[in-house]
Amino acid sequence: MIKSQESAVGRDVAAELDRADVLAEFRERFVIPDDDVVYLDGNSLGRLPRATLARLSEVAGAEWGGRLVRGWDEGWMELPVALGDALGSALLGAAPGQVVVGDSTTVCFYKLVSAALDRAPGRSEIVTDVENFPTDRYVLEGLARARGGSVVWLRGDRAAGPTPEAVAALVSERTALVTFSHVSYRSAHIADMAAITRVAHDAGAFALWDLSHSAGSVPIALDADGADLAVGCTYKYLGGGPGAPAFMYVRRELLRHLRQPIWGWLGRRDPFAMEQGYEPAGGVRSLLSGTPPVLSLAGVQEGVRLVAEAGIERIRAKGIALTELAIALTDARLAGFGVSVASPRDAAVRGAHVALAHPRARSLCAGLIARGVIPDFRRPDVIRFGLSPLTTRFVDVWDGVEALRDLLGGGSGSMAGV
C-alpha cells in the first residue's frame, strides 16, 4: 500500500485519515472553487463559509436595502456585544459581558494597551517578545514612546516560545503590562497563558493576550487562566473575511476601572442623546468608539457560528493530527533536502500550523504557489503550512509536502495522487 520507499505514510494513508475524519463534512460548508488549490494558508485568511455568502447578501439586500436606517433598532446596534458574547462563550472561555467586536486588531490592541498603561501609574515598562506579531510590536513601540516608557524585549528560543521563567526574569515593579501572542504567528508555539499571567500578576502588572492565531484553533480559557485583557483577529480560523473586525476582552472586574482612549459616541452612555460630555456606556460597550461595521460583523457571526458548531475540542484534535502528519512527512520526505521543523514537536504546545525552515524558503514558497500549493513565507527562512481543521484535508498536507519535495529535486511526480 505504501507507494514511497522513503515514507511510512503514502497518500492513501492520508486519504484514509480524511475518510475517518469526523469533521470532514464541515469542508462542504465552505466555498471551494472548481479550480481549487492546495490551500495551506487558512491561518492567514480563512476560507469563505457558504452561510456567510448568503448572510452578506441578506444583510446588504434585505436589512440595509430594505429596512434602511431602521436596521439599527432591529439588531445592528446589538451586533458587537451579541457577537462578542457568542464568541466568548463558545471559543474564548469568557463569560458574557466581557467581549466585544469592532475595529481592527491593531486598533483594539492599541485601546487595551493604552487603557492598561493608564491604570499603572509609576510603571513604565511593557514586556513582550520579538516573536510577537509585528503590529503588536509597533503599537507597543508607539505607545511606549508617546508616554516616555519602554518595551522590554524577550529574545528567547523561537520554538520554545516565551516561558514563564524567562518572563519572570524580565518583570519588576516597573512593569505595567506583560503581553504575548497566545499562539506564535511564526512557530505556532502555544504560550502558557495561566502561568505567564500569574508571573505578570505577581509583579503587579496586567496581562494582555493576542489570540489571533489561537481563536478557533485551540481551546482558550481567558476567565479560568485569569487573563486581564485580550484581543484577536477574526479572519483567520474564525472565517470573518479579509480585514474583518477584531475582538477585545476585558475581565469583568476591570471593566469599570479601565478607560480606553478613543472616546466615541458608541462607547458613550445613551449615544443618541448626543449630549455634551463623555460618560462611558458602562460594561463592555465602553470599549466601542465608532459606528459598528454591520456587514463585516454579520460575516464574523457566521464564521463564529460554524466554528462553534464544529466544537473547539474536535477542531483541536484534528489540528494536532494535521500538524503531526505534516511533521512526520517532513521528517520522512523533506529532511534529506535540508528542511527542518521549526515548530514545537510537542503537540501540546503547538497550534494549528507548522513552520518549516529552509535557507531558500522564499523562492520555495514562490515555487509552491506556481504549482497551486499556497503556504506562506515568513522571513527569514520559514515556509508556514497553515492547517485549518475545518477545511484542510490530510491529503492537502501530503500534497503540499510532496510538492515541496518535487521543488527540492526529489520529484516523484506524486501530485496527481500516487
Q: 197-216: which residues touch a copy of itself (CB under 8 A)?
A: none
Identity of the residue, 47 or 305, whose beta carbon is nearer to a copy of itself in the bound complex: 47
Q: Active site includes 47?
A: no
Q: Which of 195, 262, 281, 328 binds a copy of itself (CB under 8 A)?
A: 262
Residue 63 or 192: which CB sits closer to a copy of itself? 63
**Which residue is catalytic, options 39, 110, 235, 237?**
235
Binding range to a copy of itself, per CB under 8 A, among 305-313, 325-333, 370-378, 401-409: 370-378
User: Nearest distance from residue 9's CB to a copy of itself, in Å?
Assistant: 26
Q: In this chain, which of 41, 85, 210, 396 binds a copy of itself, going by CB under 8 A?
A: 41
- Residues numbered 76-95 forming contacts with a copy of itself, rule: CB under 8 A: 76
- CB nearer to a copy of itself: give 153 or 337: 153
By CB under 8 A, tell whether 278 contacts a copy of itself.
yes
| 197 or 391: CB nearest a copy of itself | 391
In the complex with a copy of itself, which residue's Cβ is closer, 141 or 324? 141
* 235 is annotated as an active-site residue: yes
With CB under 8 A as the contact rule, which of the stretches 214-222, 271-279, 348-356, 357-365 interacts with a copy of itself?
A: 271-279
User: Angle 50-58/294-310 helices, nearest 10 degrees?
Assistant: 150
Residue count, binding to a copy of itself (CB under 8 A): 81
Burial class of 140 by CB neighbour count within 10 A (0 to 12, 13 to 18, 19+): buried
By CB under 8 A, the residues from 324 to 363 that bind a copy of itself are none
> Smaller CB distance to a copy of itself: residue 317 or 369?
369
CA distances from 363 to 234, 257, 358 (A): 29, 50, 10
Which one of residues 13, 27, 51, 137 is an interface residue with a copy of itself (CB under 8 A)? 137
Closest contact distance (angstroms) between CB of 342 and a copy of itself is: 15
**How far apart (Å, rounded) are the C-alpha atoms in residues 72 and 63?**
10
Q: CB of residue 289 vs a copy of itself: minimum separation in angstroms?
A: 4
Map the footprint of a copy of itself across residues 104-123, applying CB under 8 A: 104-107, 110
Question: Which residues are the active-site residues?
Answer: 133, 210, 235-236, 384
